[in-house]
Structure 1
Amino acid sequence: MAAICSGLAALLHLVFIFWGDDGYRFFGAGEAMAQMVEAGALYSTLVTLGITFIYK
């Protein structure tokens, strides 16, 4: 069950990247992260990918 939850959390973080700034806001990643996505900063994507790989 824990592995399934971790896998779902990892997939959800990938969804953030494709959903864009609205996804970051909806899931509570913080306004600063959402603004970085809006500005096209690579940092927010790299942080999100890092979290995804930690969950895996």
Structure 2
Amino acid sequence: MNKHQPDHANQPANDNVIAFPASRRVRPVEEPRFEVSGFWWTASEWAEYEAHVRESFGI
């Protein structure tokens, strides 16, 4: 039995199970994303992109 895992009704197959519950393995919380012209951006990514475009066009 995995020492990090609670003993769920003494299940014999329990020793192969990943120690953390599924909720710990989801992606970390990120900034909310929004869609612009078919791409999904965070606010900071979009700000960086806008700055890059402004710079490259000399605006």
Same fold (TM over 0.5): no
Larger helix proportion, structure 1 or 2? 1
Compare relative contact order (CA 8 Å, sep 6+) and give the higher one, 1 or 2: 1
Larger strand proportion, structure 1 or 2? 2
Q: What TM-score, normalized by structure 2, do the two folds share?
A: 0.30
Q: What TM-score, normalized by structure 1, do the two folds share?
A: 0.32
Structure label with greater radius of gyration: 2
